[in-house]
Amino acid sequence: MSDITEQTVVVPKEEVVPAIPEATVEETAIVAAVEEEQKKQEQEDKEAQEKKEQEQAAEKEAAEKKAAAEKAAAEEEAAKKAAAEEEARVAAEKAAAEEEAARVAAEKTAAEEEARVAAEKAEEEAAR
């Protein structure tokens, strides 16, 4: 009987190159092609998602701009209305002041007429 001694040989990892049978090479090529197709599909999906997000962002921005324009138009309309109301109030005050001035002038004219008539009567009585 011979004496067999077991020996362990340590081989650095980078030196170990497993032998690839011919069938495995073909399978590896198929797997690589499938992985490449998956990567391509993932990239297309990512680009489609980015495009969709850009479109949504553009729609949101357009909606915000439209809302801002509508708000500005409403504020401008409100300012015009307030200015028109103020103008009408000032015109009403002016008309009231003119009416008051006309009333005062009419009272003055009436008082002057009364005084004139009284003076004429006094002259007539004094002449008698």
Average pLDDT, the chain: 87
pLDDT tens figures, 35-89: 999 999 999 999 999 999 999 999 999 999 999 999 999 999 999 999 999 999 9
Total residue count of the chain as it appears in this document:
128
**Is the dihedral angle over the CA atoms 102, 107, 111, 114 positive or is it negative?**
positive
pLDDT score of 31: 86
Over range 104-109, report the average pLDDT: 93
The DSSP string of 30-45 is: HHHHHHHHHHHHHHHH
What is this structure's pTM?
0.45
